[in-house]
Amino acid sequence: MSDANAEAARVRSEAERDLAALIDQRDLIDRQVTNVRKKLTTLTDEATERARALDESSPVPVQQMMPSPPDSAAGTGASEQTARWWRRK
């Protein structure tokens, strides 16, 4: 009986160590994901600000700098939505 109790205590102790290690890994991954999200937010904000500055300082609005549609955009399998988008520009 005492051998069984000792074995159970050993298994429980190992399981608690494993659980603690997994919790530490989870917390590390959570911190890394949070850092990546912050960096992406910063990059997105910077890109948005640069685009606005370019649009405001450019004599030609950025929307007008879009490339012309290919000659065959409406007849070669392009969706109707894509064709309408090109016509609108």
Parse the chain into domains and list their residue ranges.
2-88
Do 69 and 86 touch, CB atoms closer than 8 A?
A: yes
**Which segment of 12-16, 23-27, 57-61 scores lowest on mean pLDDT?**
57-61
What average pLDDT does the chain have? 80
Reply yes or no on whether the pLDDT at 12 is more than 60. Answer: yes
- pLDDT value of residue 86: 64
Reply yes or no on whether the pLDDT at 14 is more than 70. Answer: yes
The residue with greater pLDDT, 69 or 47, is 47
Q: Give me the mean pLDDT over the 29-57 stretch.
A: 87
SS3 content of the chain, % helix, strand, coil (to 5): 80, 0, 20
Distance of CA 48 to the CA centre of its chain: 16
